[in-house]
Structure 1
């Protein structure tokens, strides 16, 4: 018997051929798999390329995800989760002052005082970075870092000579990246630009938004439509994920049990859950748009010197 036959070596050709097969996922892209854990432990390589079976190692920092420690994905996922909790406080206040109150008051001037009052809560030197700035940066940064960590684990697991193993985008992630761009544009127009040009943003309120819809109707509708649609979709699906409701909320269910009755009931539950989550997201868009687009966007043009200030600001926005 060959003494070397008991020592297995990784076959790159076999591995590559397996990796090139078209995947057949069990879950729909709408589903949110359990991403809190790192990939299984990887064997270390000898200089000759062989991969002996070794027990998992852990580091003193507890970031390896093996043994007693927690993995980097564990901590990044929790940063992403808890930052969304903090940002939701601001989003709730903003929804109330930019949509619900205008919807009840039926007037932009009558709603301005409530917006100014809310700014005393979330636009102070302390609360603005804690409720808005840092949560956004932490949430987006953790999401990007998660993708990089998973990609690095895939490369270490399957080898750099093998075909690249992509980390697929979920619908939650795609809407999140789109929402991040929409929020960045919104912050620039309503907060950053007035501070850079005028030195403060005390004159910026609902009338400023209404003025923009009069002077730049198409761009305003596109920008705020994207902000509301992506924002409500991402936040509702994100909360559904944190509560475990997004898991299995897909249209397609692979038959696993062999029992037609069980499979049919499983598909029915998942479709019902999908419809409920999407209905909640649609309801959020309708509520926000009812006051924000139905009342504020139709508030009319601001005249006088304040209107000229608004025109000067909008003139500095590329594409407007």
Structure 2
């Protein structure tokens, strides 16, 4: 053996000995456990920013990371629906169930007056309706914007055109669509029944089922169409929202990921079939409840109250003045 070959062998032995042995690490397959960005299941851990100082004193942060903002807004959006739900139940009884039972607007008015102090007491109305509804809308829009920007960062959107392509409108669910449709309808309903009487008459003590019947008799096409859309959207949004809080997502824009190529399909398991069957059952149940609720409400509001006709005397004159003073559409009413 030549001297050069022995030197090469010694060098190879030293290089082998200098290598570090690494323990094997398992490889995880995350195909079936991919988190859902739309509901905030994936939150990349950001680097902790150092608190800035001004005049030698640290400025404390809010301590809200992106996922904490997501949780906070989701909580606000959910729990802000509790007070309006109580009002929703009372209003449903006053304007739908009781008129259906009595078959008379004058006979139903006393029941409306009994429950009116519960949700129209000074200051309580804004706590039960105004603030919760505004909180619900604002938190939903903010939450959607946060998730939209999160998707844009994830997919590397740099230009405005790319961000618009990953916008939140194409993925908006039927539940959210009904909510955005409902917002201006609630506003118009409040202006006609609460704001205008307050401006014209100093309060809404004279506003009741007769006032609504008088308006429908004056403009039947407009008000029948309005209450048809208003009641239907309201019932579907409330029922669908509570179904979502309970874990029954029947109005979502998301589609379940296919299990094609997974062990479920290869081994012949029926989990997907059972899940789809259960989802269809929930869909029919939730939408059936919403359909029955909307039908009952329309039967009471339009079938009984809407056919009561115009009022008479000084009361009708006061109602005519109120309807004519409604902003923008007063001339049509």
Q: If the length of structure 1 is used for normalisation, what is the TM-score? A: 0.78
Partner of 2:277 in structure 1? 268
CA contact (8 A) 2:105 2:304 kept: yes
Cα distance in 2 for partners of 1:72, 1:241 equals: 20
In structure 2, relative to structure 1, the CA distance for the partners of 1:34 and 1:298 (3 Å cut) is: farther
Partner of 2:23 in structure 1? none
**What secondary structure sits across from 1:241 in the alignment?**
helix
Cα distance in 2 for partners of 1:191, 1:171 equals: 29
Partner of 1:284 in structure 2? 293
Cα distance in 2 for partners of 1:245, 1:292 equals: 29
Q: Is 1:188 the counterpart of 2:191 in the alignment? A: yes
1:266-290 deviation line (CA, Å, top 9, x unaligned): 2222111111111011011012122
CA contact (8 A) 1:250 1:271 kept: no
Q: If the length of structure 2 is used for normalisation, what is the TM-score? A: 0.75
Partner of 2:159 in structure 1? 161
1:227: Cα distance to partner?
1.1
Partner of 1:114 in structure 2? 111
1:246-267 deviation line (CA, Å, top 9, x unaligned): 1698997554132474433322
CA contact (8 A) 1:93 1:118 kept: yes
Cα distance in 2 for partners of 1:230, 1:57 equals: 44
1:140-173 deviation line (CA, Å, top 9, x unaligned): 1111111222233334442433711212211100
1:193: Cα distance to partner?
1.0
Question: Can you give the 5+ residue segments of structure 1 that lack an aligned partner in the other structure?
Answer: 1-32, 43-54
- Structure ranking higher in helix proportion: 2
* Paired residue total: 272
> Between Structure 1 and Structure 2, whose CA radius of gyration is higher?
2
Partner of 2:3 in structure 1? none
Q: Is 1:208 the counterpart of 2:211 in the alignment? A: yes
Cα distance in 2 for partners of 1:139, 1:233 equals: 16
Cα distance in 1 for partners of 2:296, 2:41 equals: 39
Partner of 1:242 in structure 2? 245
Partner of 2:48 in structure 1? 57
Cα distance in 1 for partners of 2:252, 2:190 equals: 33
Partner of 1:146 in structure 2? 143
Cα distance in 2 for partners of 1:247, 1:277 equals: 8
In structure 2, relative to structure 1, the CA distance for the partners of 1:187 and 1:211 (3 Å cut) is: same
